[in-house]
Amino acid sequence: MQQILDLHIHSKYSRSCSPELTLENIDAACRLKGVDIIATGDFTFPNWFSDIKNKLEETIPLTPLYQGGSKSGLYKLKSAKDDKVKFILSTEVALIYKDGGKARRIHIVIHASSIRAAEELNNYLDKNFNIRSDGRPILGLSAPDLMELCLGIDKKFLIYPAHIWTPWFAVFGSKSGFDKMEECFHEYTKDVYAIETGLSSDPAMNWRLSALDRFTILSNSDAHSLPNIAREANVFEMKETTYDEIYNIIKNKKISRSDNEAGVKYTIEFYPEEGMYHYDGHRTCQVSFTPEQTKKHKGICPVCKKPLVIGVMNRVDELADRALGEQGENTAPFKKLVELDKIIAEAMDIKSRHAGKVQIAYNNLVKQGGNELNILLNIRLKDLARMADAAVVEGIKRVREGKLIIKPGFDGQYGEIKIFSEQEKRKNKQKSLFE
């Protein structure tokens, strides 16, 4: 069965995250979005872990234990009417330490196979570090030490680097990262089975580095608010909806070529230009450069004369041993999307996706189309034309075709995606499409 997974989000307890990120609200958002398996996020935070233990219960696998099955390792809300939305235990930790004579700041995603394993890890961390001040704790541990700790508790912990190209907090980040996975994880590199692309890169960019061929490429939302859930996600074909199935697909880099083959079918991607670190630049100076422009300026901001923040595109160019367009080995395809409420806002020429008119149109369309991802990915345009205004349908069509006007993000500033030109917006209004 096909399942859509978003394996990295946060709770209301993480810094700069929405207070609306409760387990109940996450479940409801996933039903609107069309997400089947969602990360709990932040299981290392004591209050959130208490909610996880009190409000979730393990789902029942298709194959019972007495028939040779295993526990599901996935959870559902006790109060939910069904197990349509399943939770996988997850957290993100920030590691700050010295290695190779440099200060390293690395973010790592961790998945636990059981409440017991997560609790044992939490107990150790709580005794040795401060995990009570932020949902994403800062640990004075090296990446190899974290691997040793987790795998010493449970061999089925899944541990992989988050948003691997982000300048400040990533394994390949230009500010504090490494040039090779082995430089970061040392002898435990063999136990790392995946990488997370992050919003500012897509699989094609990661294919340019042949050293990444052996890793399963995952794309997750890293959502800090409910609307951002599933802005990136993974589509798996699964024989059973269990933690073990997810673990085996990721560990063995299984790619699904048919509905009968378990594996990654494709990933759902943010347009990487919209990510906050796609180009190089200085936000305060409003300087945004391509790698070629950065090279021309020798990496120095022409306004303040300080070094530029080197973005993902440049860093990929620096480490790549393949040309853009070359494909890695055993790769899954991917599809780039723009969130539905953003498309509706653009079609209505309304600045905020959160505006009342936008949300009314969004909820009405989702009610007809089943869920957001089904609308964006699957429903035929001629069928959508019976559900939505012509400009919204045209917007969905252009997103599917990649016919967008994009201003890339840089130095912590999101890029801008435009679907319609200003002239087209004026024409849309004149035709009164949105009354």
What is the model's pLDDT at position 434? 46
**Which is nearest to 255 in space by CA: 368, 334, 192, 158?**
334
Tell me how far apart the alpha carbons of residues 17 and 38 are, in angstroms, rounded to a whole number: 17
Is the same domain home to 30 and 151? yes
Q: What is the DSSP string of 206-261?
A: HHT-GGGTTSEEE----BSSGGGTTSSEEEEE-SS-SHHHHHHHHHTT-B-SSTTS
Is the same domain home to 98 and 174? yes
Beta bridge partners of 75: 58, 87
Query: Where a domain ends, among 250, 274, 298?
Result: 274
Residue 109, both tokens? 């995603």
Is the same domain home to 231 and 354? no
In a domain, 321, yes or no: no
Is the same domain home to 268 and 345? no
**Which is nearest to 108 in space by CA: 166, 51, 152, 52?**
166
What is the model's pLDDT at position 114? 97
In a domain, 418, yes or no: yes
Is the same domain home to 241 and 357? no
In a domain, 298, yes or no: no
Is the same domain home to 169 and 79? yes
**Amino acid type, 422:** E
The domain containing residue 395 runs over which residues? Answer: 339-430
State the helix-helix crossing angle for 115-128 and 143-153, rounded to 10 degrees: 130
Please report where in the chains the tokens 């958002």 appear, as a residue: 29
Is the same domain home to 252 and 343? no
Tell me how far apart the alpha carbons of residues 353 and 17 are, in angstroms, rounded to a whole number: 18
**Amino acid type, 219:** S
**Are 220 and 234 spatial neighbours (Cβ–Cβ below 8 Å)?**
yes
**Are 18 and 11 spatial neighbours (Cβ–Cβ below 8 Å)?**
no
Is the same domain home to 245 and 379? no
In a domain, 119, yes or no: yes
**Which is nearest to 311 in space by CA: 275, 269, 271?**
275
Residue 163, both tokens? 């948003």
In a domain, 330, yes or no: no
* This prediction's pTM: 0.95
In a domain, 292, yes or no: no
Query: Where a domain ends, among 245, 274, 303?
Result: 274
**Are 375 and 383 spatial neighbours (Cβ–Cβ below 8 Å)?**
no
What is the model's pLDDT at position 428? 67
Is the same domain home to 145 and 253? yes
Please report where in the chains the tokens 């490494």 appear, as a residue: 178
Is the same domain home to 364 and 253? no
Query: What does each of the 435 residues of the chain score in pLDDT, given as a tens digit?
Result: 999 999 999 999 999 999 999 999 999 999 999 999 999 999 999 999 999 999 999 998 776 654 555 689 999 999 999 999 999 999 999 999 999 999 999 999 999 999 999 999 999 999 999 999 999 999 999 999 999 999 999 999 999 999 999 999 999 999 999 999 999 999 999 999 999 999 999 999 999 999 999 999 999 999 999 999 999 999 999 999 999 999 999 999 999 999 899 999 999 999 999 999 999 999 999 999 999 999 999 999 999 999 999 999 999 999 999 998 899 889 999 999 999 999 999 999 999 999 999 999 999 999 999 999 999 999 999 999 999 999 999 999 999 999 999 999 999 999 999 999 888 877 766 664 445
In a domain, 301, yes or no: no
**Amino acid type, 107:** H
In a domain, 322, yes or no: no
Is the same domain home to 344 and 257? no
Q: What is the CATH number of the domain that holds 102?
A: 3.20.20.140
Is the same domain home to 262 and 368? no
Query: Where a domain ends, among 274, 289, 319?
Result: 274
Q: Which residues contact 371 (CB under 8 A, 6 or more apart)?
A: 31, 32, 33, 34
What is the model's pLDDT at position 431? 63
The count of domains in the chain is: 2
Number of H helices, E strands in the chain: 15, 18
